[in-house]
Amino acid sequence: MFGARLAGIGPDDRILDVGCGTGYSAAVLARLGSEVVALEQDADLVRVASGLLANAVGKVEVVQGGLIEGVRGQGPFDVIFVNGAIEQAPETLLSQLAEGGRLVTVLKDGQSRAWLFLKQNGQIGRRPGFDADVPVLAGFKKAMGFVF
């Protein structure tokens, strides 16, 4: 998992795993933090992940929903781990961070690099992690506009 170390996950962290797929990342994150909400939009993947994670170490809940929306009713989260790339800062997800919370993702904005977004004093800052190239997740593509 490209950014678990970058996020500095601790044993008391509540984690939102965005784009959990079949649940591998959620299982790993459950061993690092206290509880994980694993978000996936594909119904078939939700069923598979739910079955595989039924006996996971730590508390893992698999939910279905739009990845870019996050899980507003269950936040705030100490860590949000985005399993893929995005093309612009995910404001909806950033709003679900707890104070001191961290969001890790790969941002493709001319180059492809892992970033750590931090919420401190109600403000969001960010710092670069490392070069990485992963596919852009569904719903995270930047809207196309007309440019002269």
Q: What is the C-alpha to C-alpha distance for residues 17 and 7, in angstroms, rounded to an integer?
A: 12
Q: What is the pLDDT of residues 13-35, one digit of tens each?
A: 999 999 999 999 999 999 999 99
| Least confident window among 75-79, 115-119, 123-127, 129-133 | 129-133
Calculated CA dihedral for residues 50, 58, 5, 129, nearest 10 degrees: 40
Indicate the pairing of strand 112-120 with strand 123-131.
antiparallel
Q: How far apart are CA 13 and CA 19, in angstroms?
A: 19
CA angle 130, 69, 27 (to 5 degrees): 60
Judged by average pLDDT, the poorest of 64-78, 98-112, 132-146 is 132-146
- For 125-134, how does the pLDDT look when each residue is reduced to its tens digit (9 = 90+)? 999 989 888 8
Query: Computed from CA positions of residues 108, 109, 114, 115, in that sequence, does the dihedral angle turn out positive or negative?
Result: negative
